[in-house]
Structure 1
Amino acid sequence: MKVPRAYTQIARAESVAATRRRIVEATAAALGRSPEPTLAEVAGRAEVSVQTVLRHFGSRDALIVETAGLLAAERAAAPGDPVPAVRALYWQYERRGDANIQLLAREGGDPAVKRLMDRGRALHRDWVAEVFAPPLRSRPAAGRDVLVDLLVVATDVYTWKLLRRDRRLSRRAAEARVVRLVEGILR
Structure 2
Amino acid sequence: MKTRAYTQTGRAESAAATRQRIVAAAIAALGESPEVTLADVAARAEVSVQTVLRRFGTRAALIAEAATALAAEREVPPGDPARAIRALYGQYEQRGDANLRLLAGEDADPHVRRLMDHGRARHRDWVERAFAPALGAHPAEEREALLDLLVVATDVYTWKLLRRDRGLSRRRAESRVEQLVDRILR
Instruction: Please give the range of the TM-score, normalised by the shorter of the 2 chains.
Output: 0.7 to 0.9
Task: Note the 1:27-46 alignment, pairs <5 A.
Answer: 27-35=26-34, 37-46=36-45
Structure-1 separation of matches of 2:103 and 2:121: 14
Which residue identity lines up with residue 53 of structure 2 in the other structure?
Answer: L
2:131 corresponds in structure 1 to 132
Change in CA separation of 1:54 and 1:112 when aligned onto 2, cut-off 3 Å: closer
TM-score (norm: length of structure 2)? 0.86
Which residue identity lines up with residue 157 of structure 1 in the other structure?
Answer: V
TM-score (norm: length of structure 1)? 0.86
1:76 corresponds in structure 2 to 75
Secondary structure of 2:76's partner?
Answer: coil
Over residues 22-68 of structure 1, what are the superposed CA-to-partner deviations in whole Å (9 max), with x where a residue is unaligned? Answer: 11011112233454632111101212111222333344343233212
Secondary structure of 1:80's partner?
Answer: coil
Task: Note the 1:22-171 alignment, pairs <5 A.
Answer: 22-35=21-34, 37-171=36-170
Structure 1: gaps spanning 5 or more residues:
none
Give the aligned length: 185
Structure 2: gaps spanning 5 or more residues:
none
Secondary structure of 1:78's partner?
Answer: coil
Which residue identity lines up with residue 181 of structure 2 in the other structure?
Answer: V
Q: Does the 8 A contact of 1:34 with 1:113 survive in 2?
A: no
Shift, 1:101, TM fit: 1.1
RMSD value, Cα: 2.4
Which residue identity lines up with residue 122 of structure 2 in the other structure?
Answer: L
